[in-house]
């Protein structure tokens, strides 16, 4: 039975993945690392520190340290969100569905809390969530299940009774490792990727999530 619903932020609540790519390309270019869009796809779902560590392991640089790059990326993303980010199509309808069912809802994301609050405040929905939680507070980020386990604990629910919405492979792995039911809504370029086959439900759009699909998952 589904007793709580947990949403990823980037790619589920907000249409921010293109903005992350834009910001990462700009900031990493400043240290001589010219990322392509395809390269940026390799770190979708990782938190910012893990993204920086990933690229340092691949192509080490000198000059700016991890903390400097982290703060540049987060501040640039905060400003970019205020200017450009949009609510993901279909999310409002799903949120309303869960509210009508009186289910507690939470956010579990790799983004830091400042960006969670920036995005949710922009659309006036911060108060709709019972819990907001960032994997940057955890010892390990996604695909480790820590952020999902902590979120379910704060909700007072067994993770097996939680439904998670994710767009990335790393995020979906984290939710499934926490033993949650997982709905994935991959980027169009990843929709046919067989790695997502472990999901309980895979959708091409949030608009495809219906009462019937909820009931199907709820009765599993």
What pLDDT is stored for residue 173 in this prediction?
96
Please state which architecture CATH assigns to domain 4-15+86-218.
3-Layer(aba) Sandwich (3.40)
In the chain, residues under CATH classification 1.10.150.240 are 17-84
Q: Which of 86, 81, 145 is nearest to 110 (CA)?
A: 145
Q: Which CATH superfamily is domain 17-84 in?
A: Putative phosphatase; domain 2 (1.10.150.240)
Known catalytic residues are 8, 10
Could you say which residues of the chain have pLDDT below 50? none
pTM for the model stands at 0.90
What pLDDT is stored for residue 47 in this prediction?
87
Q: Which residues neighbour 115 within 8 Å (Cβ) at sequence distance 6 or greater?
A: 9, 74, 77, 78, 81
In the chain, residues under CATH classification 3.40.50.1000 are 4-15+86-218
Q: What is the pLDDT of residues 109-147, one digit of tens each?
A: 999 999 999 999 999 999 999 999 999 889 999 999 999
Cis (ω within 30 of 0) for the bond into 143? yes
């Amino acid at each position: 039975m589904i007793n709580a619903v947990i949403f990823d932020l980037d790619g589920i609540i907000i249409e921010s993945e293109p903005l992350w790519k834009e910001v990462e390309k700009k900031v990493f270019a400043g240290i001589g690392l010219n990322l392509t869009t395809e390269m940026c796809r390799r770190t979708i779902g990782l938190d910012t520190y893990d993204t920086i560590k990933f690229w340092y392991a691949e192509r080490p640089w000198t000059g700016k340290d991890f903390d400097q790059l982290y703060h540049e990326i987060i501040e640039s993303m905060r400003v970019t969100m205020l200017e450009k980010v949009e609510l993901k199509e279909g999310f409002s309808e799903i949120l309303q569905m869960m509210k009508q069912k009186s289910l507690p809802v939470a956010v579990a994301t790799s983004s830091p809390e400042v960006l969670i609050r920036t995005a949710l405040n922009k659309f006036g929905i911060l108060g709709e969530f019972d819990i907001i939680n960032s994997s940057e507070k955890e010892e390990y980020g996604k695909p480790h299940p820590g952020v999902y386990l902590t979120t379910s604990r704060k909700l007072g629910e067994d993770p097996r009774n939680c439904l998670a919405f994710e767009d990335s492979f790393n995020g979906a792995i984290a939710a499934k490792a926490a033993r949650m039911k997982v709905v994935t809504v991959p980027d169009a370029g990843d929709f046919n990727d067989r790695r997502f086959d472990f999901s309980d439900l895979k959708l091409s759009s949030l608009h495809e999530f219906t009462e019937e699909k909820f009931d199907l998952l709820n009765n599993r």
